[in-house]
Structure 1
Amino acid sequence: MPAIAVPAFALSWWAACYLIGRDPARAPLVRAAAALAAYGMGVVAWTVAPGSATAQILLCVPALSWAGTAVALLPRMLPERRQINLGWRILAGPFLVMVVALPSAGRLVVLAPLAGGIVLLWRFRDQVQPTILPAAMAVVAALYAAGLAFLLLPVELGVPVLVVLAIGVDLMMLAFLVAVGDALDVGERLRPDLLRSLTAALVGALAVGTPAVLTLLSTDGRRVVILQFVLVGVVMTGIGLIGHLRRAFDAIAFRHDARLRQDRAALLLLADALPRHRHRHRLITTPQGDFLRFTRQALDNYGQLGRLMRSPLTDLPAVDRRLSGLTIEQPLARAMELRAVLSESVDRLRPAGAFGTTDEWRHYNALYFCTVLGLNPYERKLRTDGLDRETRLALDWMRRQVPRRKLRQWREEAASIVARRLWDEMTRADPRWLTRVRAG
C-alpha cells in the first residue's frame, strides 16, 4: 500500500494546489481541487485503516465536488446558471449527510448529483469549450463511478488498493480537463505552466516520497504514517502554490520595505504571466464570440494587473499604438496600456451633457462606477469618503432604484458594446501590426 499510496497522495495533492494556484477565483478550478484534496485525504485514511468508513466517505466526497465542477462549467450566459449553481450548493449538504449516515452500498447515492451535473453539461455541450469536454468528463465520471461501486459494494472484484489508484487516475484526468477548459475560456496557454509545475512536483515526490515510502514500510505506527503524509503534503503544497507563497513570504520578510515589496510583486506577477500568455498571432484568428468573452474577463479584471498581463487583449493594435521603444515588449507596460484602452472605451459610452440616470446612461453608469472604479453599490457599509458628488449620486441611485440582476444585465450589455468596438477596430487595423519587430 505505501508504494502506491504515497505517489497517489503526492500527485493528487499537488494537482489540487496547482488548480487553486492558477486562479483561486475560478469556481471550476476550486471545486476540482476540492475533489482531489478529498481523494488525497481518502488515500491517507485508507492507508491507516483500509476499508474504514472514514476512507469510504472521503472517497465519495469527490463526486459532490465533481458535480459542482460540471455546474460551474455551464455557459456563463445561461439564464438558469445561477439557480442551478445555488441548487448544487443547497443539495451538497444533505447528500454529504446521507453519505455519512448510510452503510457502504448506500453511499453510492452520492453518484446522483454527479450524474445530474454531467447531464446538464451534456445538454449545453455546444456552448462549452472545448466541445469535447462534456463527452470526456462523462467517460471519466463513468469510470470513477465504476471504481467507487467496486469499493463500496459487497463483492470481490480485485485488489482494493488498485481500485483506489484507478479512482485517483480518474480524478487526475478531471483536473486536466478542467485546466484545459479554463485555459481556453480565459485565453491562456496551459502547457508551459503545467510542465513547469509538474516537473517540480515529480522531483519533489521523488525526493520526499521515497524516504516516506521506506519509513512507512518499516513502521506500523499510526502517528508516524500520518506525519509522513503531512510532510509530503507540505512539499506538494509549496510546489503547487509557489507563486502565492513567494508573495506571502515577501510580505513577511520585507514588511518594512514597501518599495521592495512592490518591485518584487511586479516581478512575480510577470513571472507567473509569461508562461500563460498566448502567442501573439493567435489574437487575429480568435472567433468573435471568444473575443467578446475575453473582453468581459478583461473588464472584470480591470483592477488586477496580474490577470491583465495574461489576457490575449494585451496584443491589441490599440495597445501597440500607445507604446514605443523598449516598452513595447514589456508585459507589465502592455497590461497598463490595455487598462487605459478599456478605460477609454468605457468613456466613449458616456452620453453628452451633465450626469444623469436616464435609460441612455445605464451602460456607462454600470460599467464605469462598478468596473472602472470597482465600487459595489450593494455593500452593507458602503463608504463614500473621498468620492465626488457624481459618484455618490450614482451609487445612491443604483442602491435605491436598480436591482442587482438588472445591474448585471447592464454590465453584460455594456461589455458587449465595448467588445464589438474593439473587434471592429482590430479587424480594420493594418495587418502589419501583427509583424511587430522586437525592440532592439
Structure 2
Amino acid sequence: MTTGTTAAEQLSATSLLRFATAGSVDDGKSTLVGRLLHDSKSVLADQLEAVELASARRGQDAPDLALLTDGLRAEREQGITIDVAYRYFATPRRRFILADTPGHVQYTRNMVTGASTAELTVVLVDARNGVVEQTRRHAAVAALLRVPHVVLAVNKMDLVDWSEPVFAAIAEEFTAYAASIGVPEITTIPISALAGDNVVTPSANMDWYGGPTILEHLETVPVGSDPGAQPARFPVQYVIRPQTAEHPDYRGYAGQIASGVLRVGDPVTVLPSGLTSTISGIDVLGTAVEVAWAPQSVTLLLSDDLDISRGDLIAPSGTAPATTRDVEATVCHLHERPLAVGVRVLLKHGTRTVKAIVQRLPYRIDLTRGLEHQDDPGEFGVNDIGTVVLRTSEPLPLDAYADSRLTGSFLLIDPADGTTLTAGMAGEAFAARTATAAADAAGEDEGWDF
C-alpha cells in the first residue's frame, strides 16, 4: 500500500485563483490568454490542432492562439472578443479560473460580469499606444468592484524594440491613475504575448526587467483571506424537514456560508425578523462538526424552533448587519432597457428576492475622468455606472460592498419577464427616511404598496 499522495490529491490541495483579463481593443487579451494556456501545457492536443487548421486556412504560418478563447463565430470573423470566455487550467502550484473579457466600450457590462468574482485583473496596454480611455475605464471598474490585485501588462514590447523607457513611462502613468481611484495593489510587467516573452518564461530580450512573469505572479499572489477576519453570514437556501422515525424533530437550514466562521454554541440572529437563537449543531455532508467556515455548504441546527425560510440570513448576534428598506448603491446597468426613476424592479440579494422602486438616480460616473460625477442623469443606459437609491418592500440585511463583495452585492430584475437589468454594489445602509409623495404614489399602484 502506498503512503504517497496522488496527483489528484495534490491538485485538490492547491489554492484557486479567479482572475480576469481586460484592456482596450486589439491590446492582445485573447492572445495573452492563448499563450498562457499553450505555454503552461494546458491545451489539449485536439484543441491545438483545431487552432492550427483554422490559422492555416487564414494563411497564417503560426497558430493564432487567440482562437483558443474567441469561440463565437462573430469573434473569429471580426477578430474581437464579444462575450466573456471562461477557461479553467492548473499548474502544480495553483488552480485557475480565467475570464477573458471584451475590450470594446459597448461591452463594459461584460467586463463587470467577468471581474465581479475575480481576485485579480490583468489590464493589458499596447506599448505603442500607452494608457488610453478604455484602459482607464477598466482600471476604474476594477476599483469599483474592489478587485484586490491589478496587473498592468504592457504588451507588444517587441514592436517598440523592447524599450525600457517606453515601459517605464506607461507604468508610471497607469500607476498614478490607478492609485488615485483607489486600486489597492498594482504590479507592472512588460510582455510580448505573441512571442511569449515574460508570459510563462522570462524574456531574453528584456534583461533590464527583473520581476516575475505573468504566470509566476499568478501562482504566487496571495489569494483568499482568513475566514475569521470577516463576520459570518449564512443565507438560508433550503429548510430540511425529513420527519423520519429516526429524526422526528429534525429541522435544519441548508446553505453555503458566504463569509466568516460558525461554531456550535454561537448565539445568532435571523434577519430580517430579528429572532435570536443558538447554533445547536452543524452538519457537513451528513457528518456533525463543531465548526464550519466559508465557503463550505452546511446545514445549521438551532436550539429554538423558529419561523425561518429561504431568503433569511443567519448571522452572529454581535456582528449582525443592520436591515434597511432604503438602499443606496453603485450600479452597473446591464440591459438595453433603461433604468429610470419610478421603475419597479425585483431586488435579488443572496437567496432573497423582494420588490423595489427606483427613487433617485443621484449621479452617473464618468470612468474616463477618474470617477467624475454627472449629477441627475435622468436614466441609466446600457453600460452606464452610477448611483441609485431604492425603496424595498421588505427590510434587507445588506452589508457594505466594501466590507463584503458577496453580501454587499445584488441584482435588479424586471418583474415582467425575469430579465437581469442591473448589478448593484451596496453602500453603507442608511437610516430609513420618509418617502416622497411621488414615490409613495408610485408604490401604491399595481399592488406595489410600500
**TM-score by shorter chain over 0.5:** no
Taking structure 1 as the reference length, the TM-score comes to 0.26
**Greater percentage in helix:** 1
**Greater percentage in strand:** 2
